[in-house]
Amino acid sequence: MNRKLIFTAITILILLPAFAFAISGDEIVRRADAAATFDTAESSGEMHITDRFGTKISSFDSWARGENESLIEFTSRAERGQKVLRTENEIYLYYPDAEELIRMQGSALRQGMLGSDISYEDMTGGKDRASQYSIEITDEQNLLGRDCWVLTLRANTRTVPYPKEIVWIDKQDYIVLKGEYYTKSGRLLKDMEVLEIGEMDGITMAVETRISDKMKSNSNTVLIMKDLKVDIKLDDEIFSLEELSW
């Protein structure tokens, strides 16, 4: 074997690990979405909602099945019994005092849930962002001691809440550690940052997250997860309109 062939063979062997472990932006986002989606899940937590009037704490229980079905029931005294149901195509609110069921649509979806920085529209995006956005890896950074990819996502459909997203996804567990969410023209609408990572039911996950709606002044919401159980048996009725008022 001549020297040129030997050099070529050595170069290929050196570069092979880099090719073997290369990953596309689409695949990173798919893995992140998969890491945040369970066949079934039951959880509980709190929202610490801060605005110019101070901070209030709202507690909740929630259930989810796959990408498109979830139910949140608030358990704090002021909101006890209020429910938010998401089905594949719709979001419904139930207020027990008024015995009223409301279907959310149009501009109402942009309202903050219980006045928080988390809108009802944030619940509608689904978890299949790889098919909804063009995705580019633009940088690599370290957050919370974890190496992350920084990705820019630009929407190729009008059905998503945010035309542009910049997200920081950690390389180990594919947790979205930070996100910035923009209009098509580049105006920052909302940002999100994970404050603490922990483990629940064998899942490494964000247990404390801060969300800030940039359309509000002096406003942020800290979401704290208290408990999570995954891949458990859930009754179909949990996600039905018929059971929402119970």
- Residue whose tokens read 């945040």: 36
- In the predicted structure, residue 22 carries a pLDDT above the cut 90: no
For a pLDDT cut of 70, what percent of the chain falls above it? 89
CA atoms of 149 and 170, how far apart (whole Å): 6
CA distances from 199 to 87, 96, 97, 196, 215 (A): 28, 34, 37, 10, 33
> Do 243 and 237 contact (CB within 8 A), yes or no?
yes
Rounded to whole angstroms, the Cα distance separating 157 from 155 reads 5
pTM (two decimals): 0.87
Model confidence pLDDT, tens digit, residues 24-53: 999 999 999 999 999 999 999 999 999 999
Model confidence pLDDT, tens digit, residues 198-223? 999 999 999 999 999 999 999 999 99
Pick the CATH number of 24-244 from 3.40.50.80, 3.30.160.20, 2.60.40.10, 2.50.20.10: 2.50.20.10
- pLDDT tens for 134-161 read 999 999 999 999 999 999 999 998 888 8
Query: What confidence tier does 21 reach under pLDDT thresholds 50, 70, 90?
Result: very low
Would you give the distance in Å from CA 29 to the centre of its chain? 12
